[in-house]
Amino acid sequence: MKRVLITGAAGFLGSHLADRFIAEGFHVIGMDNLLTGNLKNIEHLFSLARFEFYHHDVSKFVHVPGQLHYILHFASPASPIDYLKMPIQTLKVGALGTHNLLGLAKAKNARILVASTSEVYGDPQVHPQTEDYWGNVNPVGPRGVYDEAKRFLEAITMAYHNYHKLETRIVRIFNTYGPRMRVDDGRALPAFFSQALRGEGLTVFGDGSQTRSFCYVDDLVEGIFRLLMSDYHLPVNLGNPDEITIKEFAEEVIRLVGNPKAHIVYKPLPIDDPKVRQPDISRAREILGWEPQVPRSEGLKCTLAYFKEEVLGLGSQKN
């Protein structure tokens, strides 16, 4: 039986990846320090003989007994509210954590896929963003701790590939949504759903003209699985190129939720907030035969059902 280690397994993406690999017949080893992850995301797997969990911080030495065939490195704070609160941990998991897991992959002769991000493009001057674009990142700005951690992650992964001939894969993930997102995540979709369900003002930064592109989690997981199993070692964008402004997205959420008290409130744009974000997925289409299948209207309905349960169970707790 093939064995796969998934770091960040109790997080939003990691838990969905654990489900997928269990469904594919793998033995899954989940690892998480629970800094931003939640065990309830994977508690349904605990009774399975093909799943085990390690409560561990990958920024420290990582040991997994026995054979490993694949490693997926998804451990990291991923939303601005998290990495602004935990800047050192964010840099450490991107640098030390990636180094430790590359070393483990080398020792086990395992193929490793690392989770990078569209944030490596910073506030882009090229639109849409292709993998060949080097980005426009402020290394000393507030978002630099995440952006540069992921840029280093890519650099050291390529170094291990070129120097040690390690089997490596790099995915650049664009905005993704779906069940198991944290209500207090701080990103646009969890904030909008939570605020609309409570009948509060939906916080739109700036004039709301900045754009994002939202990919449903099932589509992303399919792309990641295909990339891991491919022979391609350079970075690949995965995301939905269906671009929408934040203001339009807020209005869409208000219509979907249907709470008459929900409305938009405007606040100043944060420093270095990207004005545009849209993936060019030509490479994924060509190499993986992949493109998103779930329309936003369908994905949002599935996500709303989850947020209704989460938010209404939280009572008066605020984001």
Residues involved in catalysis: 146
Q: What amino acid occupies position 161?
A: H
Length of the chain: 319
Tell me the C-alpha distance between 283 and 172, whole Å: 12
Which residue type is seen at 35?
Answer: L
With 0-12 CB in 10 A as exposed, 13-18 as middle and 19+ as buried, what is 172? buried
Structure tokens at 116: 């990078």
* Helix H or strand E encompassing 14: helix 12-23
Find all residues with CB under 8 Å of 284, minimum gap 6, and list them: 223, 227, 236, 237, 238, 290, 291
DSSP-derived letter for residue 275 is S
Rounded CA-CA distance 73/17 in Å is 11
Which of 150, 68, 117, 92 minimizes the C-alpha distance to 54?
Answer: 68
Please report, for residues 193, 203, 267, 297, the alpha-carbon distance to residue 259 in angstroms, rounded to integers and kept in the order given: 11, 16, 21, 18
DSSP assignment string, 207-225: TS--EEE-EEHHHHHHHHH
Residue with structure tokens 């944290």? 182
Element (H, E) at 302: helix 296-312
